[in-house]
Structure 1
């Protein structure tokens, strides 16, 4: 099934806003029973999710996979002049896309946010700002980067690597992940927010105009939290840390254990996502 390119304009703010958010839309042959707005992981383009979106469409679920600001076709490219972090994504990009999806598919179609990795972390902040903005949250391979959520020495590695990334971003003016082979090119503020979560476990992005920590307790949305076998970047313990930021939400947990001979991890699950799509359909039908 071929996806349709969709460009959603987003005016600049303080000279640093993206000119557009570009998404890939996949629709089922019949009227959709639900729509899923997918927010990717760092350095993962929306087009990468095409096979997974096809699996959803086969189950009568429409999907909108959006490139994160500065990734894929969404602009502008992060550089030394970039000033956005988690708060700007949660307060501007997420609401704009939610409104656009609602307008395109209609208010009567249930809308769920699917966050992969950082996409899940920002979706938590969006829900704190707009606790009734969507009908539910789906985390797939999305955990808190809090180092305490990683077993053994891997927690120490997470702590050290995230803090080093923040130092590099501060000195360089942005994070040159495209040169270092990890996380892609990212704005310094985003990396500092990410490193702060790793260090403190608290979702307190810089420049925020609301107290996210206080508002998170008021989110009562249904949540489907999917951990993936072989995922060292978002193990089940880290996924649980992310779920714990929403103490009033109704969370259903599921672990994706692929069939024998099928290898998945933090990113590869997307290309073998039929079981995940089926679980989402069953969860949504249950709601």
Structure 2
């Protein structure tokens, strides 16, 4: 596929009712895009890290609005003992604000999809279940459920122990000090409790939820592309399958991406050499 000219990336501040604005970077083709992806990162990964991947998508005619998760990158405030955001506030407040901003930037006639990596994908399915008419579909890359039952062998018990330990430390400390402990960046205790509850029970039951997310997920009928990677130990294919199993009514296409020589295939570094995944996504988008 011939590469399209790319416009200079632009910074975007997204107003969020009742909260600080979110920071985002827009990477787009020079001409009108064929689709827009609103990208939500993994824990502790700033949106800027996905720059090469966003450029690969833009070169194929797809615009990307890469949003820093609250408290990460340039989105404030940093997690602290007073932080109260978790899965529910992401799905009910931050995601709708970012989707509205992307619609405002590119217009309502351009198809818009949520693209979630890791916890970004775990939250994206909740946002889509809340407002299925707000988006045209979902793309999940290296995004699996942390339900320990979705892992095999010793990894199953390691995931269960680690998720519960993270929640315990976050409760005692007042937030998860992942910037000091080397996993996930600094995160609010509520988000880590929600994450650990999913790991322990296999169910989405975030603190403060105002609807039955499990029921809403089961009724979701949007098209979904779910991509797993061969060297991903945090979201192996079995964990990705566990997540999309929550979407029985959706039109799910599952792909296990085998990268070309020189492309990374682990949980995070794929975003620095994501040409193959960008090609896979744009081919899927064309079929929508």
Normalising by the smaller structure, the TM-score range is over 0.9
Gapped regions of structure 2 (runs ≥ 5) = 1-5
Q: d(CA) in 1 for partners of 2:128 and 2:35?
A: 19
Q: d(CA) in 2 for partners of 1:203 and 1:24?
A: 29
Aligned residue for 1:279, secondary structure, equals helix
Q: d(CA) in 2 for partners of 1:135 and 1:261?
A: 32
> What does residue 11 of structure 1 align with?
17
1:213-228 aligned within 5 A: 213-228=214-229
Q: d(CA) in 1 for partners of 2:237 and 2:40?
A: 20
- CA RMSD in angstroms comes to 1.0
1:1-287 aligned within 5 A: 2-12=8-18, 17=19, 19-287=20-288
Q: CA deviation at 1:83?
A: 0.8
- TM-score between both structures, scaled by the size of structure 1: 0.96
Q: d(CA) in 2 for partners of 1:10 and 1:136?
A: 22
> What does residue 3 of structure 2 align with?
none
Aligned residue for 1:137, secondary structure, equals strand
Do 1:24 and 1:65's aligned partners in 2 also have CA atoms closer than 8 Å? yes
- TM-score between both structures, scaled by the size of structure 2: 0.96
Do 2:40 and 2:68's aligned partners in 1 also have CA atoms closer than 8 Å? yes
Q: d(CA) in 2 for partners of 1:34 and 1:81?
A: 38
Aligned residue for 1:257, secondary structure, equals coil
Gapped regions of structure 1 (runs ≥ 5) = none
Structure 1 segments of 4+ aligned residues over 3 angstroms from their partners: 260-263
Do 2:263 and 2:270's aligned partners in 1 also have CA atoms closer than 8 Å? no
Do 2:35 and 2:63's aligned partners in 1 also have CA atoms closer than 8 Å? yes
Do 2:260 and 2:276's aligned partners in 1 also have CA atoms closer than 8 Å? no
Do 2:224 and 2:251's aligned partners in 1 also have CA atoms closer than 8 Å? yes
Q: d(CA) in 1 for partners of 2:175 and 2:263?
A: 37
Aligned residue for 1:234, secondary structure, equals coil
